[in-house]
């Protein structure tokens, strides 16, 4: 059995708790692990307790079985105590990154190269894309069990978006595929499709892609053709494997049929496409664009969870939740003791209790690292706005 975190409003009588359930404000234990929830229990929670997420058992092998050993609390030489004297950047970077920054930068250069090829000649050197995808998969597989952070590239400017976004989507897709336990050869094919998922954008004028304004209906219709353009470029480049082509054409399709370009729904959308689609949405939401500011990680995750099971594949979203958490790295928060902190690592199995770095506090040492899953008297009280967070940093 695995653990599945679901919203309180979606809980049904008969579901069994996969771990003890705590009030998210007082942190008091409400029900013990293995307690079977009744209708009265659910009504009690809704009326009397501050609980948003419920950990229940799932028996589906298709959901996350959490093979990762990336709980920071289990790295004894990193977080033995309640907090450390300083942020262990070197240790965090060594133990927690799934992909090295050097690998990511080389991947961006490779994407930029094949995007240029596609723009100039309508084709890409597919072997170089395969090699880059295989390199990403190999590195991810070797370092998978000791990984906790999924580093995503930050953009230098708007023109870098498609290159960095393609790499971010590919690396996130690989990570999700490893959790779902896809076959290694399938993950390699997925990596190729994910790297190429936006290649069709080379046929869209940059002044439309990067327009800092509301697009016209005609411009939106043109942008929505990029999956078809991408399919054509990949096909003309010699890609015949449908499993590689599908995430290129289907990554914007939605389970309820509201996606594009073909309005596919449900089982018509392949698993590679579902994985790539979730990765694409998360990176797009959290990246600055000329026409909007990025969503903070918490808001982005909330939007994705809202669409889980409706537009986005629920099992893939559950993988993302277990990986990034309800409070993804970078989320500014106020703790229940009034401290200001920022989430630095998600706790697998405890998505509401991340590892945080203290920014300002009267009781905790500023700069210290606190694993909230180990603290029975401390939790997240609320998300802070950027302005509130900056004010706290300047105190």
Over the stretch 178-210, which tens digit does the pLDDT of each residue have? 888 899 999 999 999 999 999 999 999 989 988
Burial code of 85-108, b = ≥16 C-beta within 10 A, e = fewer?
Answer: eeebeeebeebbbbbeeebbeebb
Extents of the domains making up the chain: 1-59, 73-93+328-395, 97-324
Q: Which residue has the tokens 């986005």?
A: 312
Tokens read off for 239: 């890609």
**pLDDT of amino acid 80:** 30
How many helices (H) does the chain have, and how many strands (E)?
14, 9
Is residue 344's pLDDT more than 70?
yes
Given a contact cutoff of 8 angstroms between Cβ atoms, the answer to whether 117 and 125 are in contact is yes
pLDDT tens digit sequence for 373-392? 888 788 888 888 778 888 88
Say how far apart CA 97 and CA 153 lie, in whole Å.
12
Report phi then psi at 381, rounded to 5. Answer: -90, -45
Say how far apart CA 345 and CA 343 lie, in whole Å.
6
CATH code of 1-59, in short, is 3.90.105
* Mean pLDDT, range 144-152, rounded to an integer: 51
- Characterise 357 by phi-psi region: left (phi > 0), alpha (psi -120 to 50), beta (else): beta
**pLDDT of amino acid 294:** 79
Is residue 86's pLDDT more than 60?
no
Say which residues have a Cβ less than 8 Å from residue 103's Cβ, sequence separation at least 6. Answer: 135, 136, 139
Report phi then psi at 35, rounded to 5. Answer: -70, 130
**Cβ neighbourhood burial of 250 (10 Å; 0-12, 13-18, 19+):** buried
Task: Calculate the average pLDDT of the chain.
Answer: 80
Whole-angstrom CA distances from 371 to 89, 174, 346 are: 15, 27, 9
pLDDT band at 61 (very low <50, low <70, confident <90, very high): very low
Return the closest-CA partner of residue 323 out of 184, 180, 196: 180
Q: pTM of the predicted model, to two decimals? A: 0.71
Say how far apart CA 369 and CA 82 lie, in whole Å.
8
- % pLDDT > 70, the chain: 81
3-state DSSP assignment of residue 129: helix
Q: Report the residue count for the chain.
A: 395
How many CB atoms within 10 Å of residue 387? 8
Is residue 22's pLDDT more than 60?
yes
Given a contact cutoff of 8 angstroms between Cβ atoms, the answer to whether 191 and 160 are in contact is no
Burial code of 133-143, b = ≥16 C-beta within 10 A, e = fewer?
Answer: bebbbebbeee
With both helix axes pointing from N to C terminus, report the angle between 184-195 and 161-180 in degrees, rounded to the nearest 10.
160
Say which residues have a Cβ less than 8 Å from residue 203's Cβ, sequence separation at least 6. Answer: 119, 225, 226, 229
* Mean pLDDT, range 12-37, rounded to an integer: 83
State yes or no: cis peptide before 261, omega within 30 of 0: yes
**Domain 97-324 belongs to what topology?**
Hypothetical protein af1432 (1.10.3210)
Whole-angstrom CA distances from 11 to 50, 129, 154, 190, 257 are: 15, 44, 37, 33, 26
Given a contact cutoff of 8 angstroms between Cβ atoms, the answer to whether 105 and 135 are in contact is no
**Cβ neighbourhood burial of 200 (10 Å; 0-12, 13-18, 19+):** buried
* Mean pLDDT, range 322-336, rounded to an integer: 82
Position with higher pLDDT, 313 vs 104: 313
């Amino acid at each position: 059995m695995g653990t599945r975190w679901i919203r309180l409003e979606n809980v049904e009588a008969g579901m069994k708790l996969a771990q003890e359930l705590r009030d998210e404000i007082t942190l008091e234990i409400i029900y013990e692990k293995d307690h079977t929830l009744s209708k009265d229990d659910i009504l009690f929670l809704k009326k009397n307790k501050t609980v948003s997420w419920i950990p229940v058992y799932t028996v589906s092998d298709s959901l996350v079985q959490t093979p990762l050993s990336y709980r920071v609390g289990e790295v004894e030489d990193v977080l033995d105590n309640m907090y450390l004297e300083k942020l262990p950047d070197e240790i965090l970077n060594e133990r927690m990154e799934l992909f090295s920054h050097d690998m990511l930068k080389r991947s961006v250069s490779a994407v930029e190269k094949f995007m240029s090829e596609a723009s100039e000649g309508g084709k890409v050197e597919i072997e170089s894309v395969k090699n880059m995808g295989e390199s990403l998969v190999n590195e991810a597989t070797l370092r998978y069990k000791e990984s906790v952070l999924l580093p995503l590239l930050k953009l230098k400017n708007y023109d870098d978006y498609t290159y960095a976004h393609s790499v971010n989507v590919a690396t996130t897709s690989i990570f999700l595929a490893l959790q779902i336990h896809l076959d290694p050869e399938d993950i390699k094919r997925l990596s190729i499709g994910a790297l190429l998922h936006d290649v069709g954008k080379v046929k869209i004028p940059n002044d439309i892609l990067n327009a800092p304004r509301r697009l016209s209906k005609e411009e939106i219709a043109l942008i929505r053709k990029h999956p078809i353009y991408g399919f054509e470029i990949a096909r003309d480049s010699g890609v015949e494997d449908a499993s590689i082509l599908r995430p290129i054409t289907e990554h914007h399709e939605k389970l309820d049929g509201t996606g594009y370009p073909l309005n596919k729904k449900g089982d018509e959308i392949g698993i590679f496409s579902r994985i790539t689609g979730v990765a694409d949405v998360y990176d797009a939401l959290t990246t600055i664009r000329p026409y909007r500011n990025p969503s903070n990680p918490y808001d982005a995750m909330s939007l994705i969870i809202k669409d889980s099971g409706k537009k986005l594949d629920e099992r893939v979203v559950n993988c993302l939740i277990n990986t990034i958490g309800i409070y993804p790295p970078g989320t500014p928060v106020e703790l229940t003791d009034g401290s200001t902190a920022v989430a630095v690592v998600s706790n697998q199995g405890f998505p509401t209790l991340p590892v945080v770095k203290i920014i300002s506090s009267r009781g905790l040492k500023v700069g210290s690292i606190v694993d909230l899953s180990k603290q029975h008297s401390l939790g997240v009280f609320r998300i802070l706005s950027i302005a509130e967070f900056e004010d706290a940093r300047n105190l």
